[in-house]
Chains A and B, each alone.
Chain A
Amino acid sequence: MIWNVVSWALLLSGAAFVIVGGVGLIRLPDFFTRLHAVSIPDTLGAALISAGLIIQAGLSMVALKLLIILAFLLFTGPTATHALAKTALHGKLAPRTRNPEKTP
């Protein structure tokens, strides 16, 4: 019962982060801020949802597989985001700053 509550709390908070990421993707102004928004569901959302599902699965093969998927996501998600941001900077896409003269 307690584990159920914990797992649902994890699942719901994960879902909340995913929604926040989706809203950010639509609302934020430029590439880098959008990337920042997308990385939230990629890491925190995925981690929380997987943790919730692992508790739901109990001690079994399914839980182990979910754990491996979680590790995979934690490896690839930030790497992809990092590569995207770096490539964008490399391709001379300047981040939007408050006063446009002082772009790095």
Chain B
Amino acid sequence: MSLLVLLGTMAIAIVRLNRLFAVVILFDIFSLLSAALFVSLGAVDVAFTEASVGAGITTILLLGALSLTSKRQRQISWKRHLPAILITVAIGILLLFGLSDLPRFGDPEAPAFGPLYSRYVFGSPHEIGIPNMVTSILASYRGYDTLGETTVIFTAAVTVLGLMVRGSGARTWSGGGMDHHLILRINSKLMLPLILLFALYVQFHGDYGPGGGFQAGVIFAGGFILYCLVFGLESVQSFAPAGLVRVLCACGLGLYILTGLCGMLLGGNFLDYNVLAHDPLHGQHLGIALIEIGVGTTVAASMFAMFHAYAGYEPQA
């Protein structure tokens, strides 16, 4: 309850402030609070995603975008906002109206506890055979939805790249200005392997605990962005050139789709992992691991490519 009050306060503060830097930081806190809220509701996977995506990478990307615009919001008279306000109020009223149709919290008759629920919860242990039910639903039962989500991220990266990358002349970015930060450099060098190791752990432990491709990809990209920020863009260029990152963006999604197509070629449906190995359980494990790697690759490469696009952007004079 107190978390909800804090969330409300944050939302009002975000609307009221016009210093964009403070707004970005408040968004960060907002995400962290919602992550805490998700933990208290028992949705650990969602909380993990919210913490890594919302509080982590989004803040970096927003700050990157902010470095290209002004620090303050332009003052606009409220009349310009009137259509937006009217639409928001109308949608808000509709949502409140729809609220009355939602089942009570914890209602056993709720649709979420219907036949689909028992199908997933009681079917998952012997059909998929991995302890983390969220992963089995996300990657196997609902493989189509996750494919859609991955495509959304891929599309976002492509759009940002299309908008931001002009020609080949990447700005020689002043990231090397951190040369005098000796302590920062040494500490980030110490932390980087641990961050990447943790990302790999999250990637491959997603079957057993909270985690998976999305979170791992974001953490992976976060590690590289940290390195970029401290040592400059050029140092990362040497082992992760922008072209390679862009290709990896597509490769992840390609791996996902290929895994699905393999299921079709071997006589099953699209994204049917049962036929991938002799044993349906093994097939499921293999399929889930493959598509999680695909998701992780796409997410990591997309996030890094977007950061790169912001950091290397040269506004046309």
Q: Is chain B a partner of chain A in the same complex?
A: yes
Which partner residue on chain B sits nearest A87 by CB separation? B181
Nearest Cβ in chain B — how far from A54, in angstroms?
Answer: 20
* A86 located at the interface, meaning its Cβ lies under 8 Å from any Cβ of chain B in the complex: yes
Report how far A75 CA is from B189 CA in the complex, Å.
Answer: 12
* A82 located at the interface, meaning its Cβ lies under 8 Å from any Cβ of chain B in the complex: yes
Nearest Cβ in chain B — how far from A21, in angstroms?
Answer: 16
On whether the beta carbons of A82 and B191 are closer than 8 Å, the reply is: no
Contact pick for B190, options A75, A83, A86, A87, CB 8 Å: A75
On whether the beta carbons of A86 and B187 are closer than 8 Å, the reply is: no
Q: Size of chain B's interface in residues, with CB distance under 8 A?
A: 9
On whether the beta carbons of B183 and A83 are closer than 8 Å, the reply is: yes
On whether the beta carbons of A75 and B180 are closer than 8 Å, the reply is: no
On whether the beta carbons of A90 and B180 are closer than 8 Å, the reply is: yes
* B156 located at the interface, meaning its Cβ lies under 8 Å from any Cβ of chain A in the complex: no
Interface size class of A (residues with CB under 8 A): under 10
Most chain B CB atoms below 10 A, which of A75, A83, A90: A83
Report how far A79 CA is from B178 CA in the complex, Å.
Answer: 13
On whether the beta carbons of A79 and B184 are closer than 8 Å, the reply is: yes
The 8 A CB mask of A58-96 against B (1 = contact, 0 = none) is: 000000000000001001100100110011001000000
Given contacts A75-B190, A75-B191, A76-B191, contact A82 B184 (CB under 8 A): yes
Contact pick for A79, options B180, B187, B194, CB 8 Å: B187
Report how far A103 CA is from B208 CA in the complex, Å.
Answer: 57
Report how far A72 CA is from B192 CA in the complex, Å.
Answer: 12
Which partner residue on chain B sits nearest A80 by CB separation? B184
Nearest Cβ in chain A — how far from B266, in angstroms?
Answer: 40
**Chain B residues near A86 (CB-CB < 8 A):** 180-181
Report how far A68 CA is from B187 CA in the complex, Å.
Answer: 16
Report how far A83 CA is from B183 CA in the complex, Å.
Answer: 8
Contact pick for B183, options A72, A82, A87, A90, CB 8 Å: A82
On whether the beta carbons of A76 and B180 are closer than 8 Å, the reply is: no
Nearest Cβ in chain A — how far from B51, in angstroms?
Answer: 14
Which of chain B's residues 182-228 have a Cβ closer than 8 Å to chain A? 183-184, 187-188, 190-191, 194
Nearest Cβ in chain A — how far from B164, in angstroms?
Answer: 26
Report how far A82 CA is from B184 CA in the complex, Å.
Answer: 8
Report how far A75 CA is from B180 CA in the complex, Å.
Answer: 19
**Chain A residues near B190 (CB-CB < 8 A):** 75
On whether the beta carbons of B187 and A76 are closer than 8 Å, the reply is: yes
The 8 A CB mask of A23-38 against B (1 = contact, 0 = none) is: 0000000000000000
On whether the beta carbons of A75 and B181 are closer than 8 Å, the reply is: no
Nearest Cβ in chain A — how far from B37, in angstroms?
Answer: 21
**Chain B residues near A87 (CB-CB < 8 A):** 181
Report how far A78 CA is from B188 CA in the complex, Å.
Answer: 12
**Chain A residues near B194 (CB-CB < 8 A):** 72
B-to-A contact residues, CB < 8 Å: 180-181, 183-184, 187-188, 190-191, 194
16 new A-B pairs (CB below 8 Å) besides A79-B183, A83-B183, A86-B180? A72-B191, A72-B194, A75-B187, A75-B190, A75-B191, A76-B187, A76-B191, A79-B184, A79-B187, A79-B188, A82-B184, A83-B181, A83-B184, A86-B181, A87-B181, A90-B180
Considering the complex of A and B, which 4 residue pairs feature the smallest CB-CB distances, nearest first?
A79-B187, A83-B184, A82-B183, A83-B181
Could you write out 20 A-B pairs with CB less than 8 Å apart? A72-B191, A72-B194, A75-B187, A75-B190, A75-B191, A76-B187, A76-B191, A79-B183, A79-B184, A79-B187, A79-B188, A82-B183, A82-B184, A83-B181, A83-B183, A83-B184, A86-B180, A86-B181, A87-B181, A90-B180
